[in-house]
Structure 1
Amino acid sequence: MSLSCSTSTYAYSAPPLALMGLEPMRALLEYVSVGFMDRRRLPTGDGHPVVLFPGLCADAMALEPLRRCCRDLGYEACDWGHGCNIGPKGAVEDWLDLLTEGVAETVAQHGRRASLVGWSLGGIYAREIARRRPGLVRQVITLGTPFAGRGEHTTVGVLCQLLSGRLPQIDEALLARMAATPPVPTTSIYSRSDGVVAWQACREAAVAHAENVEVQASHIGLVWHPQVWSVVADRLAQPEGRWQPYAVSAAVAQRLRAH
């Protein structure tokens, strides 16, 4: 299957609208389930800054449980600082420059490189910041981010097409750039039962410093899912400069717990 953005031919499409209709109920159940999670089993952090970027039409409130979890684990976790994510404000490149400067200020404040955690559209921002200024970024973790797809690979894009008769247009060069892996350790967390974006559009290319980690979650509930929190905690706990894939890291952690 080709995920190249240089062609309009894809072997997959957006999730069915019926699956999107189940998203609120599934997300509610996931939100409740994370309240019963035993967080004492999660690895603790080293105090480096973590910046969280919300998904489309989401804000700090949606990310607050995950931010609080990161704080409890010992990280300097903060929201992106721009309120509700309604998409780029102004020209895309200017908007990305503004977000990059925000991360630069966080890094300067703490004197350490930041990990960026982005949910859906927020993950696109995180990847682009890492591409612009890799020296600022320790790693990127995305949750349900369709960086290798187009508007027709999200139910949001399909709904726009139904309402307006056309899909949102994105420059081909930008699409190709978004699909390329940032030059820092990168983890894409995705779900095959995602009701908003095609899971195939969330998968990284096979490169040494990038990985794909599959979970079973709704799109909305990715930020509240116990399995996602476990993966995020494990990734954030990776020693700087000694990143290793999740499967390897989880196996080592399991052996340590066994002893």
Structure 2
Amino acid sequence: MVDLRDRGYFNDVTNQKAGECCYADAALGGVKYLHHRKQVGQNRVILSPQDIYNNLVYGQNEVDDDDDEEEEEEDDDEEEEEDKHAKTSMQTLAWIRENGCVLEEACPYTGIAVPPKPLAERRNDVKLRIVTSKPVELDNLEEHIRTIGPDVIYTGPADAAAFDIAEGHSVLVMGFGPEYWLIRNSYGDQWGNVGYAKFTRASVHGRFLINGGWAPVGISYHDPNGDPYDVI
């Protein structure tokens, strides 16, 4: 069994409330874990999901990820909803890779998307970014969690019998046991077991609740051009 909470690199569970920004919460959960691990638990940060939410909703500074598999054929209509939300997680990580993250104090959370700062102005607030992101297949998920860190995935739906009609939701997979995946949600500590839950690894109605996802890899304190961000 692996439970990444034991390593001490997670912040408290967040609560997205009415904001439809689960992808930002899940992605930043992974980014913060990697930063805290690199800093050996020092220089802890609270990053802003609102900043990511604003930029992705309003389409500013969009990123086309040439390294992803967007061109991969999607011939299974049953998985269309899942693919859409997996792509949201993928695009979130690609955006963070190119544009970095700001602290919560620079863009406090409201749950309501508003027009973001211009990129040049926002650059003064950026503290870190990820080096890259990658897809993690189900067969490799255990090893990735054990050696690198958490994985951003589409889970859902809440009603396991309603795969074809439920909306998607992104969570963070950050542990596992022989019969379950341990996930961290973004609905506060009143959800599940203080914000966490165990999802079965068994097939449910012919499908796995968790079948892989996208993961942030590496932390950089320089922008893609090599210029350093302001010190945390």
TM-score if structure 2 supplies the norm length? 0.27
Highest relative contact order (Cα 8 Å, sep 6+), 1 or 2? 2
Higher strand share: 2
